A and B are shown apart, each in its own frame.
Chain A
Amino acid sequence: MPAITLIEYNGASHTIEAASGKSLMQNALENGVPGIDADCGGACACGTCHCFVEARWLPASGEADAMEEAMLGMRPDRTGQSRLSCQIEVTEELDGMVVRLPEYQM
């Protein structure tokens, strides 16, 4: 099981044993990590599962498709590391990945 570290905006760090095949969003929620709302339940339609993937993990985390791109475009705090965590599928390759959570979801 890949270990993934999520760091809240206030610095609190959570390392979870993530389940492969599920999204990062689902894994975070199932492990009780705060800071992700996921209002749409993973349909890539709300943008409230926003996270920042540490640069060196970006390639392994996959690429945002057109719909995710459109949703990310609405985030005022978007950066080059922005992803929607419901669109990142956890794989063994992500073992050790570090992801930061934004100040707020909206």
Chain B
Amino acid sequence: MNVAEKLPDALTMPLADIDVSDPRLYEQDAWRPYFARLRREEPVHFRADSPFGPFWSITRFDDIVAVDSDHGSFSSEPTIVIGDIPDDLPVEMFIAMDPPKHDLQRRAAQPVVAPQNLAAMEGLIRTRVEDILDGLSPGEPFDWVEKVSVNLTTQMLATLFDFPFEDRAKLTYWSDLAAGTPEMAGGDVTQEEQLTGMTECLQTFTQLWHERKGREGGFDLISLLQRDPNTADIVERPMEFLGNLMLLIVGGNDTTRNSATGGVLALNQNPAEYDKLRADPGLIPGMVSEIIRWQTPLAHMRRTATRDLEFRGKQIRKGDKVVMWYVSGNRDETAIERPEEFIIDRKNPRHHISFGFGIHRCMGNRLAEMQLRILWEEIMRRFHMVEVVGEPERVRSNFVRGYKTLPVRLHPL
């Protein structure tokens, strides 16, 4: 890791100076005390000045649910990240649309991740997980992110799209580009690189679309889009087509990937929980939800106020950016018991905010849970421990909460 740049002291700095959009807070895993103070002292907080412009922060669980549910007052257009989207790439994703357009597009895409379809995919996913885990060498340290998390989620994506398997690394590459610019969320991808990558992505999928046309019965995402009357001609609207693709690629990639890494880290930091898991692998489904809460793979979603309004005593103006910090909501002690702790057998493990709420609530939530469940079932069949043997390297972004590397060593059963 680079030498950490010094951050201001969360407890003594003036409240108004707290800037939770600073991507270094996440790269250095230093965000907790800033949000703890905001939740306590100013749960709806205005930051007048940041590289992303002025913005409101919503930091408490219940307030986030309220904003997320009120899509009339808080619009998802033009974008749902704190920064701005590049002008030269006006992609249209339904995550960044309001009703009625949002509803139409989501309804068309949703069946692909409905649990019936997932059940049909479970066998294939398990085979791929088994292959990945069986290919690892116990004893020697290696990077879990590269060898397992990235590998696994890339294969999943290829499966979902029925994308040429040998080219699947491209999916991960495009995913990394999509939200990686400094303007959008503080990352380090250049706009030029992004534009080139997105153009290639669009071309590749347009070609796939035409090749697949007329083929019957496929349950991959492209076939489903082709069959639905609302999206049958989406290929004629390239920015909408690209937007939907990117949404499924990014939605299904970074988030699951970083949960697959986060789980290993969380269990290593909480050895008593690892013991519980060894004693009862039946805890895996609940643990998966707890991993997703603990990791909070997307730190925030942003809205834009559609009118002047008062919210929890604050005067929000039309056009203001309103940022829901899921990473903070998941640590809110008024909504979640002992929120700082990783507890794999919580009574109500799905009561977390990582998937958001309201009409934009994550469409892939059951798919993500299934992938992680299978991963842990197969890990527990093979290994006594996936031991973390060094510090993780974290992503510099205020949006994607993730890892670049995590060195581990395997201990077989």
On A, residues with C-beta under 8 Å from B are 37, 39-41, 43-48, 67, 70-71, 73-74, 76-77, 103-104, 106
User: Given A73-B107, A74-B361, list of 12 further CB < 8 A pairs?
Assistant: A43-B357, A44-B69, A45-B357, A45-B361, A46-B357, A67-B69, A70-B99, A73-B103, A73-B359, A74-B103, A103-B115, A106-B365
Q: Which residue of B lies closest to A40 (CB)?
A: B357
Bound complex: CA A44 to CA B68 (Å): 11
B110's partner among A37, A39, A74 (CB-CB below 8 A) is A74
Distance between B79 CB and nearest chain A CB, rounded to angstroms = 21
Listed by A's residue number, 13 A-B pairs whose Cβ atoms lie within 8 Å are A45-B65, A45-B69, A45-B358, A70-B359, A71-B359, A73-B103, A73-B107, A74-B107, A74-B361, A76-B110, A103-B115, A104-B366, A106-B366
On B, residues with C-beta under 8 Å from A are 65, 68-69, 71, 99, 103, 106-107, 110-111, 113-116, 348, 350-351, 355, 357-359, 361, 365-366
Bound complex: CA A74 to CA B115 (Å): 14
- Chain B residues near A67 (CB, 8 Å)? 69
Distance between B392 CB and nearest chain A CB, rounded to angstroms = 29
B71 touches A106 (CB 8 A): no
- Chain A residues near B355 (CB, 8 Å)? 39
A106's partner among B65, B69, B107, B115 (CB-CB below 8 A) is B115
Q: Which residue of B lies closest to A71 (CB)?
A: B359
B361 touches A47 (CB 8 A): yes
Q: Which residue of A lies closest to B112 (CB)?
A: A76
- Chain B residues near A71 (CB, 8 Å)? 358-359
Distance between A103 CB and nearest chain B CB, rounded to angstroms = 7
Among B68, B113, B348, B361, residue most surrounded by chain A Cβ atoms (within 10 Å): B361
B351's partner among A41, A44, A74, A103 (CB-CB below 8 A) is A41
Distance between A74 CB and nearest chain B CB, rounded to angstroms = 6
Distance between B161 CB and nearest chain A CB, rounded to angstroms = 19
Distance between A64 CB and nearest chain B CB, rounded to angstroms = 14
B351 touches A39 (CB 8 A): yes
Bound complex: CA A39 to CA B350 (Å): 5
